Amino acid sequence: MTVIPAGFLTLTRGIAKFSGTYGLTITFFTTAVHPTTGYQTATINANSGIWLNNSNITVTPQNCDTELSGLMRITAGIYNTGTLSDWWLFIILELR
């Protein structure tokens, strides 16, 4: 059995796609202090993304905001954000 540590995923470029039928309940990201707000944040930047394509995956909520500038595609599975009511999923849009 492979043990995957919580906070194992760092996205810098490209899309991390999770497909199949295996079961997984985990926190994907480590958090960092956001340079503007000063709050703990998990970030999916504009050059990266995450794609859940497995109904047996549950991403557990983190004690932070999640900032989304890149891709978040959920075709199967569950992605939870925030452990408290004041933690948010911020979607950053770039208008052209």
Separation CA 34–CA 20 (nearest Å): 33
What local confidence, expressed as pLDDT, does residue 29 receive? 85
Q: What's the rounded Cα separation, in Å, for the pair 75 and 47?
A: 20
HSE-up (13 A, CA, CB side) for residue 48: 14
| Regions of the chain with pLDDT less than 70 | 1-2, 95-96
Give the pLDDT of residue 96: 63
Name the one residue in this structure whose structure tokens are 């194992």.
Answer: 8
Q: Would you state the structure tokens that stand for residue 65, as one six-digit string?
A: 């905001």
What pTM, to 2 d.p., does this model score? 0.80
For every residue of 52-90, DSSP letters joined together read: EEEEEEEEPP-SSEEEESSEEEEEEEEE---SSTT--EE
